[in-house]
């Protein structure tokens, strides 16, 4: 609803007004937050002492001793860095193809509804595509493919479809990892490790987005191609079919990496 109203306000009063009016719900949220009471805490764990830097270093230390968790975390960081660029670029693409400003909110709402549709029917989608492992691969490919398509098209319908597809896959992907990630983290260190993942994502954004901004000052099409090439994943080798009776080979430790050709992940989540 906020996107729909904000687009109409921007088209009638100018783009400054949605940001000015945003101060009202933010102030109300702040007042509500001040009224909350933190529940009593149990015994303080030793890992919680020493300030934020010690907490962060403790989370990073846990990654060194947990290769599967490290692979999951790096996969999330790499893909999320690319996915968040959809928010940066979709309005410029809509303006490029001639979509009126008042309709931007409809597209933004469709992006959110796409994520809801995916996550509310994730079991059905998994069955349709052949399992969670394949769904995770497809959602890694979709944003990069959508970026290439946006660079190539000047059509309104194609642009809107590709933007919604990129947002649905890119932002609907992280919840697919929440279960495997939480199972790999001891409960007493979960907050610390998840904070380290968030910090790593922020660091990746700080490194990549200035480069994207420099390219965007020159060309939106070149920016879309750059983001697509940087975000292009390498498909993992196929897993044995579910229920296969053949003996499985020893599991090889696989970690995603950020190379010159983009973030690659060969980790395969458990099928459900």
pLDDT at 197: 76
The model's pLDDT over 193-226, given as tens digits with 9 standing for 90+, comes to 777 777 777 888 888 889 889 999 999 999 998 8
Model confidence at 240, pLDDT cuts 50, 70, 90, reads: very low
Nearest CA-CA partner of 153 in 219, 224, 105, 74: 224
Taking 50 as the threshold, does the pLDDT of residue 16 lie above it?
yes
Model confidence at 96, pLDDT cuts 50, 70, 90, reads: very high
Nearest CA-CA partner of 141 in 264, 268, 11, 13: 264
The model's pLDDT over 151-188, given as tens digits with 9 standing for 90+, comes to 999 999 999 999 999 999 888 888 777 777 777 777 76
Higher local confidence (pLDDT), 53 or 253: 53
Rounded average pLDDT over 237-266: 40
Q: Which segment of 21-25, 194-198, 247-251, 261-265 scores lowest on mean pLDDT?
A: 261-265
Token couple for 133 = 């492992």
Nearest CA-CA partner of 196 in 44, 52, 66, 45: 52
pLDDT at 44: 56
pLDDT at 161: 94
Rounded average pLDDT over 244-248: 42
Q: Looking at the whole model, is its pTM more than 0.75?
A: no
The model's pLDDT over 45-71, given as tens digits with 9 standing for 90+, comes to 544 445 556 666 666 677 777 777 777
Provide the sign of the torsion angle of the four alpha carbons 102, 108, 109, 114, taken in this order: positive
Model confidence at 38, pLDDT cuts 50, 70, 90, reads: confident
pLDDT at 85: 86
pLDDT at 10: 85
The model's pLDDT over 102-160, given as tens digits with 9 standing for 90+, comes to 889 899 999 999 989 988 888 888 888 888 778 888 888 888 889 899 999 999 999 99
Tell which CATH classification among 1.20.1250.20, 2.30.22.10, 3.40.50.300, 1.10.10.60 matches the domain 2-11+50-233: 1.20.1250.20
Model confidence at 233, pLDDT cuts 50, 70, 90, reads: low
> How far, in Å, CA of 100 to CA of 93, rounded?
12
223 in Cβ contact with 215 (< 8 Å): yes
pLDDT at 67: 74
Output b/e per residue, 111-126; b: 16+ Cβ within 10 A: beebbeebeeebeebb
Higher local confidence (pLDDT), 98 or 76: 98
Higher local confidence (pLDDT), 2 or 62: 2
């Amino acid at each position: 609803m906020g996107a729909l109203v904000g687009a109409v306000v921007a088209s009638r009063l100018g783009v400054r007004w949605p940001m000015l009016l945003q101060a009202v719900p933010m102030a109300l949220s702040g007042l509500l937050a001040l009224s909350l009471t933190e529940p009593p805490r149990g015994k303080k764990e030793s890992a919680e002492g020493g300030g934020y830097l010690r907490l962060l270093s403790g989370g990073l230390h846990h990654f060194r001793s947990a290769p599967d968790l490290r692979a999951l975390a790096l996969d999330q960081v790499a893909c999320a860095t690319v996915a968040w660029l959809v928010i940066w670029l979709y309005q410029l693409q809509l303006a490029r193809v001639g979509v009126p400003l008042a309709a931007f909110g409809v597209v933004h709402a469709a992006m959110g509804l796409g994520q809801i549709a995916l996550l509310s029917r994730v079991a059905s989608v998994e069955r349709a595509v052949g399992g969670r492992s394949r769904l995770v691969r497809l959602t890694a490919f979709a944003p990069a493919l959508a970026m290439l398509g946006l660079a190539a098209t000047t059509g309104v319908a194609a642009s809107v479809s590709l933007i919604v597809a990129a947002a649905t896959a890119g932002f609907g992907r992280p919840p697919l990892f929440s279960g495997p990630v939480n199972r790999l983290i001891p409960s007493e260190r979960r907050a610390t490790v998840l904070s380290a993942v968030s910090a790593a994502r922020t660091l990746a954004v700080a490194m990549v987005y200035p480069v994207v901004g420099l390219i965007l000052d020159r060309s939106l099409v070149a920016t879309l191609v750059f983001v697509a090439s940087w975000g292009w994943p390498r498909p993992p080798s196929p897993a044995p079919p579910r229920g296969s009776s053949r003996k499985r080979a020893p599991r090889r430790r696989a970690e995603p990496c950020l190379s010159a050709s983009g973030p690659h992940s060969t980790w395969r989540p458990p099928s459900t």
